[in-house]
Structure 1
C-alpha cells in the first residue's frame, strides 16, 4: 500500500505546466488589471476631468470627457462631475436693518460651466459646493436682508430680496466657473412677537383704509344729491320765470278743450272763473 501511494506521488511530481503557461497567466492578470484601470463609464448628465500623472496634471485646455465609455492611460485619472442643474437648500439666520434676527429659507439652482470643469477642479476641487456656493449665497443673503425692515420683508419686499440675492450671488459665481440659474426664497420667518405686531398694524391700516373709503363714498353721494337738488331748483326757477299769465291762460284753454272731450264731462261754463277761464261741472 505504501508503495502504491509513493508511486502515485511520483506520478504527480512528473506533471508539468505547458511551456510558457505561467507567463500567459501572469500576462492575462496584468492585462485585466490594466484594462480595469484604463476604462471608465461616464453616465448621463456627467462629464470627466482628465488628470495626467506624467503630463502636467489637470487638463484645462481641452474639452472635458463626455458621456459614455472612455479609455485612458492606466497611470492617468478621471474625476467625474455632475454637469446638469442641481439644487441645494439653505436655511440661514440673518439680521434685518434694525438688528432683528430673521430666518431665511432658499433653494439655489446651479450647475458647473461645462467647458470650465477642468479649471473648477484645479482651483476649487470636488467640494466646490461647500467651498464656494454656500458661503457666497449666505454672504449675499445677509447683505441684502440687512437693507430692509421686518415689515418690508414680511409684506412687499420678498420678490425684491430674491432678485437682489440672485444678482449679488451670480456676480461672484460667474468668476468661479459656476452657472447660477436661480435662487428661490421659500420662506421668511420673523420672531413671533414681531410677526404679531406687524399683523396687528396691517389690520389697523386696512380698517383705516376701509373707513376712509366709506367716508369718501358718503361724501360723493351727498355731493351728488346736492347737485341733483340744485338742478331741480334751477329748473323750477327757470320754468317759473317763463310762465306768464297769457301762457297760463292758453294752457288752461287747451286743458279745458281736452277735458270737454271726455265722456265724463257734462257742463262747461265759459268765463266763470276769476281769470275768465272755463269751469267744468258735472264730472261723473
Structure 2
C-alpha cells in the first residue's frame, strides 16, 4: 500500500481531469486496507472517498506565490542597450521603505487574499490571519520556500494564470486573479454580465447579495485555452449567480444578474 500511495503521489497531471486524488483516498481507506471490497464499497464510504475540499494552507499559498514571483522575474525584459535600467530588475526596493503587494487566488468558489510585504530586511507573507517570513528558491518547476520555523518543498506547474501546486500528496489548482491583466474586460449591458464566448466557469468570487465596486472580479471562465475574468461594470450588488464552477456556458449566456447603484 505504501508503494501504491507513493506512486499515486508522483503523478503530476494538468490540463485534464483525472481520478488520481480519488484513488489516493481509496488506497488510504480502512475498507481498502482490510480488503472489504465489493460493488457497494463507494456507497458505504462516500464521506471518506468524497470529502469536501480541504482548506488551502500557508505552505501551498507560499509555493504558488514563489512560482508567480519566479515567472515574473523570468519575464522581465532586458534592454541590452541600457543594462543599468531600473526596469531590468523590477524589485521591491523603495527609497523610504518597503512595498506591500496584494495577491488574490481563486480556489473553487472561494477567493484567497494574500499580502506580501517586502523591505530591506526581507519579506513577510500574510494569509488567513497568519504571518510568516518568506523566502524561496526555484529550479524550473521545483520550488522550496522558507517560512521561518516551517519549510516546504513542492512542484508548481503554471498553465497561463492557473498555478497547479503539488505538495504533500495534494494537487491544488489556484487561479491567479490579476486585476491589471483583466482591466476593462467587464461585459455589462442592462445589468447583465455575459460570456464573451463558449467556455467553462472555473472560479466564482461572489455570491448573491454581494456588494461590489467597479472592476471587482466576479467570475472567471476558461474559453479557447484562455481565461477571462468577468468584472463588475460599476458599483452595485450581485443579484444572482447563474452558473457554478465546472459548468459549461454558451456564448452570450448571462452569467450573473447585477444591479448598479
TM-score, L = length of structure 1: 0.18
TM-score, L = length of structure 2: 0.20
Question: Which structure is higher in helix share?
Answer: 1
